[in-house]
Amino acid sequence: MKKYFINLYTQAVVLNHKNIFNLLEEKPDSFFLDLGCDDGELTKKLAKRINTKNIYGVEIVDERIKRARANDIIVNKFDLNNKFNFESNFFDVIHANQVIEHLYNSDNFISEIYRILKPGGYAVVSTENASSWCNIFASIMGWQIFSLTNISNIKCGIGNPFSLHKDNLTNLGSWKHVGIYNIRGMKEYFEVFGFKIESIKGSGYFPLLSSLGNIDKTHSHFMTFKIRKIIK
């Protein structure tokens, strides 16, 4: 049973990456920023899809920063809860996958993305969905919802017997989940800061096929938004 759900989760992650790729536009020589770039492997693939070599990233784990820089990514180290260390109207494209749920100052995160995007530029932001069927089921059972089992800096998988993530996170405190959103909440949240919502995609539909998440996005496990800074 656990192997079955691990396979479903893996499929959902793969489909989520595909959704992200499909939302990106090819624009040679654009300035691209990956917020939470990790080791830079996915960042490079995204940059290739955009067709640019102007690749920037933000990361806070030193070991990951070293790897990302080895992948020719210009990496800055700073806390995304604070003002971003970039000038205004600088980037054409910004990507953030599974980042916003780790931040206690999401207002800063969204407003800073808006500030550093060029007018007409866009961001692709993906996060987990509080209203996914598996989260609803866990809540009915009185368990911690799957998206909020990472509530400790010490251990994952707290409060849910079926959680797939039970790793020791002593050295990766940045993986702690702080806030989980749903489709309507995230949509209106972006709009508060002046973004236009251009597209929403979903993946993961546990315990059913992951592809159903793009049909019923409201209950998909991962939700991905393409948001644009309007030219005024």
pLDDT digits over 208-221, tens only?
877 888 899 999 99
pLDDT at 175: 73
Residues 156 and 171: beta-carbon distance below 8 Å: no
135-189: per-residue pLDDT in tens?
A: 999 999 999 998 888 877 777 788 888 887 666 554 455 678 889 999 999 999 9
pLDDT at 206: 85
pLDDT at 78: 94
Average pLDDT, the chain: 91
Residues 106 and 100: beta-carbon distance below 8 Å: yes
Percent of the chain with pLDDT over 70: 95
pLDDT at 199: 97
Under the banding of pLDDT at 50, 70 and 90, the label for residue 4 is confident
Neighbour-count burial for 25-63, b at 16+ CB within 10 Å, e otherwise: eeeeebbbbbbbbbbbebbbebbebbebebbbbbbebee
pLDDT at 1: 60
CA dihedral sign of residues 106, 111, 116, 118: positive
CA dihedral sign of residues 152, 60, 105, 221: negative
Can you tell me the distance from the alpha carbon of 206 to that of 220, in angstroms, rounded to the nearest whole number? 8
Name residue, tokens 């799957």: 146
Answer whether residue 62 shows pLDDT above 80: yes
Can you tell me the distance from the alpha carbon of 10 to that of 80, in angstroms, rounded to the nearest whole number? 27
For the segment 5-25, the average pLDDT, to the nearest whole number, is: 92
For the segment 96-102, the average pLDDT, to the nearest whole number, is: 96
In order of their start, the domains of the chain are 2-130+179-229 (3.40.50.150)
Question: How would you class 6 by CB atoms within 10 Å of its CB: exposed for 0-12, middle for 13-18, buried for 19 or more?
Answer: exposed
pLDDT at 174: 61
191-204: per-residue pLDDT in tens?
A: 999 999 999 999 99
Under the banding of pLDDT at 50, 70 and 90, the label for residue 6 is confident
pTM score of the predicted model: 0.93
Can you tell me the distance from the alpha carbon of 135 to that of 148, in angstroms, rounded to the nearest whole number? 9
Residues 136 and 118: beta-carbon distance below 8 Å: no
Backbone φ, ψ for residue 210 (5° rounding): -60, -35
Residues 191 and 222: beta-carbon distance below 8 Å: no
